[in-house]
Amino acid sequence: MTIMPLPAVHGALPEDGYGFHRTESGEYPFLGYVIELDGVRIAHTGDTLVYDGLAEQLRALDLDLLIVPINGVSWFRERRGIVGNMNVLEAAELAEASAARLVIPVHWDLFADNTEDPENFVRRLATHHPGVNASVPSIGTLIDVVPADG
C-alpha cells in the first residue's frame, strides 16, 4: 500500500483568508490523501476548496476513485462561523477534469449545517458532465473498485 498526502485548501472564514494554510514549520495542516493498493488508486481530497493545479494533479494520478466534499461555502454559513468546501458545481467540474473512473460525494451530512443533497451532484453530472460515473452509496454499502486494467 502507498499513501501520499495531497495538500488541501480548507475553507476559512473571510478574516482568516483563503488559500493554503501552513504551520509555523511550513507544513500543510489540511490534507487529502491518495491511496494505492493492489493497483487501485483512490484520492480523497479532504476538506478542500478547488485550487490552481488540483485538477491537473488528480488527472495525472489516473484515478479509479475520487472522493470529494460537496458541503459548499456560503455567505450565510460563514456568518454563522461555519467554514465549507467546494459546492456541487465545483465538485462536478473537478470530477470531470480529474478523469476519475468513479466519483463519490461526501461531507454533505456530517454536520447539521451540511445539508447539500448528493442527488444535486448526481443531477449536475448527468446534465453537464455526462461522461462522469458517480455513486452515492448508503452507509454500509460496499463499493467494488477495480483498476482500469482489471
Q: Which residues contact 119 (CB under 8 A, 6 or more apart)?
A: 136
**Residue 14 reports pLDDT greater than 60:** no
Q: Is 66 in contact with 41 (CB distance < 8 Å)? A: no
| pTM for the whole structure | 0.89
Q: Which three cell numbers stand for residue 55?
A: 485538477
Q: Is 63 in contact with 99 (CB distance < 8 Å)? A: yes
**If pLDDT is split at 50, 70 and 90, which confidence band does 19 have?**
low
- The per-residue pLDDT for range 56-101, each reduced to its tens digit, is 999 999 999 999 999 888 788 778 877 788 999 999 999 999 999 9
Domains of the chain by start residue, with CATH: 2-128 (3.60.15.10)
- The per-residue pLDDT for range 108-143, each reduced to its tens digit, is 887 777 778 999 999 999 999 999 999 999 888 999
**Residue 33 reports pLDDT greater than 90:** yes
**Residue 147 reports pLDDT greater than 80:** yes
